[in-house]
Structure 1
């Protein structure tokens, strides 16, 4: 799936330098970054979203007693 993105000029220059120095494409490094760090981004942003849901009263925290009672029942 083709994706287009704009990078900060400094980041693009670093990526281009790495690409030239190693003989690998910029796409190779962008793909590696996504593959190796997407889990971390998902964790961070989904946790942030869940926290915002709690703050807005759209969700609630279950007590340990509620958890175990629901699990048993």
Structure 2
């Protein structure tokens, strides 16, 4: 498995250590989870940004929010 070395400030190290001690999970587990969540959110943002840009450059009409049928 690939490895990344990460430098963090003392407060972040303390928080990771505390969480690890309280839960029995490793600091690596939490760092990996945090990085995965960060990447997921930023990838979603970029997809939405690209979709908005594509729509803005198209001649498609927007749908009024009041006309959207939401699933129940």
TM-score using structure 1 length: 0.56
2:59 to 45, 58, 64: 64
Unaligned runs of 5+ in 2: 51-55, 61-72
The answer for the alignment partner of 2:63 in structure 1 is none
Distance in 2, Cα, partners of 1:34 & 1:25:
14
Off by >3 Å, runs of 4+ in structure 1: none
Distance in 2, Cα, partners of 1:62 & 1:13:
48
Bigger helix share: 1
Kindly tell me the number of residue pairs found equivalent between the two proteins.
54
Superposed CA RMSD in Å reads: 2.5
TM-score using structure 2 length: 0.57
Kindly report which structure 2 residues correspond to 1:1-73, keeping only aligned pairs within 5 A, or say none.
Answer: 1-44=2-45, 46=46, 62-64=57-59
